[in-house]
Amino acid sequence: MRVLLEMGSFAAADADSLYAGTRTADLRRFFGSRTTLAVTATTHENPELHHSGFAALKVKDAVVDALRDRMGHRPNVDVKNPDVSLVLHLRGSDARLFVDLAGDPLHRRGYRVAMADAPLKESLAAAVLALGGVRAEQPFVDPMTGTGTLAIEHALASRNIAPGLRRAFGFERWADQSHLPLFARLKQAAQDCRLAKAPCPILARDLLTSAIQSARRNAQAAGVAEDILFEVADIATLVSRDPPGTICMNPPYGERLPGPDPEQPLDELYATIAHTLDLMRGWSAVILCGNPLLARILQRKHEISHRLWNGPLEARLLVYRL
């Protein structure tokens, strides 16, 4: 989610040594007279500094004081949208101070403008496609698309569009801008590799009209709406098309289901999914599932299985050849 550049490591058994150690880090290149700052911290096994908010405050004080002494001005704090994000990791009395190169976490590709129920993080969706062996040269169907994350990530990958090409990064807001010409060249090279359209059809369906509306808006923001065909439809109506490709999905796993019958038992929906897959002979199925009941109901031998984390929720990625 982030790339952290280490700016210093030192011993910090207590607040005073944390303050003193932080002051030794030279952070001048990041800060001009109007640069804003935020500090976050994680702490483990340090009895004097077990409160992460307090540790972050000490680091902020040290940085502000050091910059005032060295440069004659002090940065303002902006916790919501800082120019520079500093991160402290404290384990026992080992302190490491980093500057966050990403700014906004890297899973935010900059295209999620509309929400629906339980969206996947963009980076998790990309991981599902990569681990599931999904290929650009084959048709792709997500029959339970929600906000469209899997279909959009697949369209971006199929068109060779680099993740985050449309967003800004933390390192673009530093006072020292000497690295930006190199970044501009790298960005141009990434832009030059984009394909004009996806090589194969991509279909995104969902039972809910509102989900399809969100998915379409997100695809427009990602610049891939033309590559995806959107349909409001029940998975029960999905039929195989030629040539076969990949059916990729992240089915509901919670208690309440969308649609006309929220009380419909999950096992009925999973039985419908199993029946649909029975009819998709020759296809691959790549399924990210937050509920082990689905794998039991499918009663198929998977080719690949991975344990992944969907935020705090454990999920299984299962790949089947149908």
Ligand X SMILES: C[S@@+](CC[C@H](N)C(=O)[O-])C[C@H]1O[C@@H](n2cnc3c(N)ncnc32)[C@H](O)[C@@H]1O
Q: Does 286 bind ligand X (CB under 6 A)?
A: no
Interaction residues for ligand X, span 220-259 (CB under 6 A)? 234-235, 250-252, 257-259
Of residues 49 and 207, the one with the C-beta less far from ligand X: 207
Q: One-letter amino acid identity for 8?
A: G
What's the rounded Cα separation, in Å, for the pair 173 and 147?
A: 30
Task: For the CB of residue 303, give the shortest distance to ligand X in the complex, in Å.
Answer: 21
Q: Which CB, 75 or 148, lies closer to ligand X?
A: 148
Q: Which is nearer to ligand X, 222 or 235 (CB)?
A: 235
218 touches ligand X by CB under 6 A = no
On the 0-12 / 13-18 / 19+ scale of CB atoms within 10 A, 117 is middle
Find the binding residues for ligand X in span 136-175 (CB under 6 A): 143-144, 146-147, 149-150
Q: Closest CB to ligand X among 9 and 213?
A: 213
* 250/284 with CB nearer ligand X: 250
Q: Across the strands, what pairs with 306?
A: 317
**C-alpha to C-alpha distances, 207 to 132, 145, 259, 301, nearest whole angstrom:** 24, 9, 7, 28
- Determine the Cα angle at 204 with ends 299 and 168, to 5°: 115
133: contact with ligand X by CB under 6 A: no
Spatial distance between the Cα atoms of 27 and 46, rounded to a whole number of angstroms: 25
Nearer to ligand X, 22 or 218 (CB): 218
- Contact with ligand X (CB under 6 A) among 4, 118, 127, 225: 118
Least CB distance to ligand X at residue 151 (A): 9
Burial of 4 (0-12, 13-18, 19+ CB in 10 A): middle
The residue behind tokens 């340090």 is 46
Looking up tokens 């709406």, which residue turns up?
225
Q: Which among 1-9, 22-30, 162-170, 205-213 is the span making contact with ligand X, rule CB under 6 A?
A: 205-213
Q: Point out which residues bind ligand X (CB under 6 A).
A: 116-120, 143-144, 146-147, 149-150, 206-208, 211, 234-235, 250-252, 257-259, 269
